[in-house]
Structure 1
């Protein structure tokens, strides 16, 4: 989403985002899409799962799909990644899933004037955020696992 481009959603006011790292890259997602941040749990692999799916884990009694976020976003994976950002879509068929990330960095306000068009990416890339300490890729979590 670019400055002045409001085709996906209204973005006139600052939003809070959660910044995280995957490999050497920094990303952010809108905070209201995040249910919780937890340490990685033991997971079980799934036969015939898409390549970006690590497996499933138990999260508060709910079977939760664990996603290799590095593979999903096309960056170098860290086998020692240990944090999971849990998303709860609230939809019956796609309730809870987690993104495996290296580190959760911080929660910050995202001002529309700090967002530029992404010169690359796919439907998940919403823009590039300019911060005091570098650039952060703003991504939308997938609505499907």
Structure 2
């Protein structure tokens, strides 16, 4: 039976797309408001814990609340017709999951090392972010304005993945917008 325009399957897909679009808009607005607060007060500490991820020769932060689990890289089954950043699928706790390669989203094509990690994100269906390494947890990083070295562009700039920049004990790190990665997984 084909899905008709008013079928429950189509309605659920439309609602999911609408919720994801609204979530993305909220993240953009939240990032804009954080930057405005930084410009008004000079320093804003983000509450909570943030995971430090390495991908494509650079590091970024991801809010720990968005993470369900971190696992070692498993064999990924290619997904025919998927966009280049979709590394493949795998079975996670009995359910099919999609792996999105963060390095490819940043424009770097490479074969992941055997010690790479999959960061399983919380959500309605399992989606993993393939990263070179998960390094550590950072508590309450400071949101900052601008770029790390003034005019030096980051590979994250212009990707839609960056929600802002944070100062950590190791230096300035981009804050990853997880909804941008999750929406990218929906293109499969």
Q: What are the superposed Cα offsets for residues 27-46 of structure 1, whole Å, 9 maximum, x if unpaired?
A: 11111000100011111101
Distance change in 2, residues 1:13/1:23 (3 Å): closer
Measured on the aligned residues, the alpha-carbon RMSD in Å equals 2.3
Q: How many residues align?
A: 136
The answer on 1:70 being equivalent to 2:103 is yes
Q: How far did 1:123 drift?
A: 2.9
Asked whether the equivalents of residues 128 and 138 of structure 1 are also in contact (C-alpha less than 8 Å), the reply is yes
TM-score (norm 2): 0.64
Mark the structure with the bigger radius of gyration: 2
| Contact 2:99-2:130 at 8 Å conserved across structures | yes
Higher RCO (CA 8 Å, separation ≥ 6 residues) = 1
Gaps of 5+ in 1: none
Query: After TM superposition, what 4+ stretches of structure 1 lie above 4 angstroms from structure 2?
Result: none
Moved more, 48-57 or 81-90: 81-90
Q: 1:12 to 1:28 in 2, by over 3 A?
A: closer
Structure that is richer in helix per residue = 2
Normalised to the residue count of structure 1, the TM-score between the two structures is: 0.80
Alignment correspondent of 2:19 = none
Matched, 1:4 2:36: yes
More strand per residue: 1
1:43 and 2:76 correspond: yes
Structure 2 residue runs without a partner (length 5+): 1-30, 39-43, 148-152
